[in-house]
Amino acid sequence: MSIQYLEKERIFCLHTPNTSYLLGIVAQEGFLGHLYYGKRLLDVSGAQYLLRLEESPFVPEKNDRDRSSFMDCFPFEYSSHGVGDFRESCIKIRTAKGHAAVNLVYVSHEIKKGKGKLAGLPATFGNEGEVTTLVITCTDPVTKLNVELSYSAFENVDVIARSVKVINTSGEALWLEKVMSACLDLEAREYDVLTLHGSWARERHMERRPLGYGKTGVSSLRGESSHQEHPFIALLSKNASQTEGEVYGLHFAYSGNFLAQAQRSQFGQIRVVMGISPEEFSWKLESCESFQAPEVLLTYSAKGLGGMSRSYHDLYRNHLIRSPWLHKKRPILINNWEATYFDFNAEKILNIAKESAKLGIEMLVLDDGWFGNRFDDNRSLGDWQVNESKLPGGLGKLVSEINALGLKFGIWFEPEMISPESKLFEEHPDWAIQIPARRPCRARNQYVLDVGRKEVRDYILKQMFVVLHSANVEYVKWDMNRPLTDIGSAALPADRQGEISHRFVLGTYEMQECLLQEFPNLLLENCSGGGGRFDPGMLYYSPQIWCSDDTDAVERLAIQEGTALLYPLCSMGAHVSVCPNHTVGRSTPFATRAMVALAGTFGYELDVTKLSDAEKEEIPSQIRAYHAFHDLIREGTYYRNASYQENHDYDCFQVVGKGGKRSLVFFTQVLATPNEHSRCIRLQGLRENVKYKVIQVNLNKKELLTDAGKVVSGSILMNAGMIVERPWGDFQGRLYWLEEC
């Protein structure tokens, strides 16, 4: 079993294949302390000394007059508020008398095989042979608040999942004002902090900076995980790179407001906390009620960022994504958004479908504009009825004609939104999140529905189900195009208004769960104005998420690198679009655009009827490449070889198949420079004693592999490098296929 309790030393030991996590109980008062997280330990006997309980005057039972000195430096496993620990706390309440202090002490624990679900929340899963769970119950004797700390250690991946459940066992109501899902106290060492930042059309750019004294972190108050910040934080040793050094990663499986923060104390000690942002949050707990906090996924890597990435990739593919599409090729789709925007009719859509079918594209997705009076983005959200002036005969007729061409069909919804100019708003203005008498802050001229209310969820789902049952719809793109503002609900009393943002997220989760129960084989792709809600919580419901509205091949290099730092390539929605690009106006070669999109789910975002004959001739080759390589891209192991974000010159990564027998190497030269020689890229993940045939792939010719290739040993390719011949011109891509001889 991967979790043990050493009763004599009162230490809990959690082990994954390559890591150990230790926490212990202070005997006299029952404080829980963190001892160690790092490389797997062969022997943990005597480890309790790491709690420094013998160091006077900091032990309360020996020197209670200076209890605050102990509280403010002890490595708490889950820190309390208002009792002497002045570092970031994990939990804060408000009693009926207005008091906020909490002091948690150990009561009991349970170790069990397997891992249970989290009520109403996405969470990782595993059977009894794959994961072991420790649940530690703590209590605050004064307020009668119980807290269950859950730890799940996986047998086959170096991740520990942590979550918290808060139970009010008192006889009166309490208000939960803060509840973090994880706390990690580490020794005083020099670290860098790695986070992901961005904005619309430039999501998940990596930023690394030294961790100084005080607090450093990222957060979101937008009601979603957001384009601007990402619910992730990592601590890196100073020497950490892709291949070496220590990395501690924390990733939040939640799609709403969050806080991810690292703090260096007066003594140099490090505390990292992660959970729902305490701003805009309060939850009323009546007597005997409980609150379940979302899950944080911790990993430790002694093999740099690459080790962290591969742990998260394996976890999400094997223990988070539930879709029947997980291990299947996704249909190559064409989305009409950048082709037509709102200006389309059935004839235009069918023309795109006919041309797409000729070229080998497999699905047409009808984006925004098919419903209500939706001729622009100012109206009709919430009125999910087919506009038959655009689509005579309804969706059933259109889909039948598209299916007859050999194409599947998908459709776009934005279920959590409502337009002020809509039938729904006329009938139910109180269903919009808003504050009475306050001028609303619109975004994209739309409001957010209060989907924390059951009647709202039921109404929207009923409309969606009617549409989806009316035709053979096999894919849904679920969008969210604005953040939450003016947080107010007509359905909640004054002392529960702080619950709105979290209830909104829970309501969205429930709606997606209901959708998948009604249509279990549906391919669901989440989206939020691009990549504004690309997080593990959404991945629990959809096997892929639209990575960014920016489809420019060069911009996508940084966006997809930051995304692949945490997520497997098969989860990243990536399309080929026209040039000049609709977001940045840049023109890049058609083959380069295809190569960048192949490192994701792959599809097209353009009007195929307007392409040149030369471009149309390239599409079948690109599609052949998808069918030839996507199994490897979807299931293979990811290695980052060079970063355009770092060198501002070129980008390179590879995907390696099981056993190191095959590999794809993606190389992009961004800007041509004079007097430059070929590149020599050190590869990873191959077998040293094996010879490989190295062949350049053609994405613009009928035959993908035309040259005989070079035969090179894995040892040379990894230690000396693979030669990439100088690409002539800007934005030139190279794709190499390596196969064991």
**Residues marked as catalytic:** 479, 549
Can you tell me the distance from the alpha carbon of 160 to that of 133, in angstroms, rounded to the nearest whole number?
9
Reading across the β-sheet that carries 32-39, which strands appear in turn?
A: 3-6, 11-15, 19-25, 32-39
Can you tell me the distance from the alpha carbon of 649 to that of 726, in angstroms, rounded to the nearest whole number?
13
CA angle 477, 606, 559 (to 5 degrees): 65
For residue 639, give both structure tokens.
Answer: 């290695």
Q: How far is CA 270 from the centre of its chain?
A: 25
Start-to-end C-alpha separation, the chain: 41
Can you tell me the distance from the alpha carbon of 135 to that of 125, in angstroms, rounded to the nearest whole number?
16
DSSP string, 68-89: HHHHTTS-BSS--SSSS--S--
CB 671 within 8 A of CB 719: no
Question: What are the start-end ranges of the E strands in 40-158?
Answer: 91-94, 105-113, 131-140, 145-154
H/E segment holding residue 313 = helix 304-319
Neighbours of 393 (CB within 10 A): 12
Short-list 277, 228, 253, CA closest to 531: 228
C-alpha distances in angstroms, 199 versus 225, 234, 251, 446? 12, 20, 19, 20
Alpha-helix residue ranges (DSSP H) falling in 565-612: 590-598
Can you tell me the distance from the alpha carbon of 20 to that of 99, in angstroms, rounded to the nearest whole number?
38
H/E segment holding residue 466 = helix 454-469
For residue 287, give both structure tokens.
Answer: 């007597």
Over the range 578-590, which residues count as b (16 or more CB within 10 Å of their CB) and which as e? bbebbbeeeebbb
Short-list 641, 644, 647, CA closest to 592: 644
Can you tell me the distance from the alpha carbon of 605 to that of 581, in angstroms, rounded to the nearest whole number?
11
Can you tell me the distance from the alpha carbon of 284 to that of 298, in angstroms, rounded to the nearest whole number?
29
Alpha-helix residue ranges (DSSP H) falling in 565-643: 590-598, 613-635
What are the residues whose beta carbons fall under 8 Å from the beta carbon of 269, sequence distance 6 or more? 73, 75, 185, 186, 187, 188
DSSP-based three-state secondary structure for 631 = helix
Q: Is the peptide bond prior to 580 cis by the omega test (within 30 degrees of 0)?
A: yes
For residue 51, give both structure tokens.
Answer: 């709690």
Residue indicated by tokens 């529960």: 496
Can you tell me the distance from the alpha carbon of 138 to that of 559, in angstroms, rounded to the nearest whole number?
42
Can you tell me the distance from the alpha carbon of 315 to that of 320, in angstroms, rounded to the nearest whole number?
7
Of the CA atoms within 13 Å of residue 395, those in its CB half-sphere come to: 25
